[in-house]
Amino acid sequence: MFDMNKTTKIALFPGTFDPITNGHMDVIQRADPLFDKLIIAVGHNPDKNVVFPQDQRVEMIQEIVAESCPNVEVQSFKGLTVDFARQVGATVILRGLRNVTDLHHEFQLALTNRAVGDIETVFIMSGENFGFTSSSLIKQIAAGGKIDRLLPLLPKLVIDKLKEMTKEQLLSSIEHF
């Protein structure tokens, strides 16, 4: 069970982060001071088409968080989140919530993670400017050629990387276009 008296509080923030958005960054920046260490766990989901390979997502996130989030480290993983959480000594799983739909899905995951991995989940509500932001929507907008319009939603580094891609590369990453 989760013990608030443990000396080191390590949170694991898992996700595909394809790409990482300012909504993700909002959660990371607000969670960073709450924990001794925050590990951004960049997962591999074989069921998802991705724009950026896993190693590139890790590198981008490392560069984006380097100066603003001193307690954050970025790692890649495959397999079950609860297994990786145990491997890195995480005391909680961190999740961001944008809306009620997210809550329904995340609530089920949190209960499963507690039952299977004996780990609690901490939720942080997204900032009001990011309640509608999703990586899938971002990819659709980018594939439509409107990358500059994404600046309020994405870190500049991600915008620059998207601009380097062809429309075909972007279209191939969209699951339901």
What is the residue extent of each domain of the chain? 10-131
What is the CA angle 167-173-175, rounded to 5? 125
Residue 177's pLDDT band (boundaries 50, 70, 90)?
very low
Active site residues: 24, 48, 98, 135
User: pLDDT exceeding 70 applies to what percent of the chain?
Assistant: 91
Q: Which residue did the predictor score with more confidence, 64 or 136?
A: 64
Nearest Cα neighbor of 25 from 57, 64, 55 is 64
* 139 pLDDT higher than 70: yes
| Phi (first) and psi of residue 135, to 5 degrees | -60, -35
What's residue 6's pLDDT? 54
Neighbour tally for 106: CB within 10 Å = 18
Are residues 125 and 97 in contact, defined by beta-carbon separation less than 8 angstroms? yes
Mean pLDDT of 142-160: 88
Q: Which residue did the predictor score with more confidence, 6 or 36?
A: 36
Nearest Cα neighbor of 55 from 63, 155, 47 is 63
What's residue 140's pLDDT? 83
Q: What is the DSSP letter of 67?
A: T
* 126 pLDDT higher than 70: yes
CA pair distance 132, 122, nearest whole angstrom? 21
Residue 132's pLDDT band (boundaries 50, 70, 90)?
confident
Mean pLDDT of 132-154: 84
* 13 pLDDT higher than 80: yes
Residue 176's pLDDT band (boundaries 50, 70, 90)?
very low
Residue 174's pLDDT band (boundaries 50, 70, 90)?
low
* 40 pLDDT higher than 70: yes
pTM score: 0.87
CATH of domain 10-131: 3.40.50.620
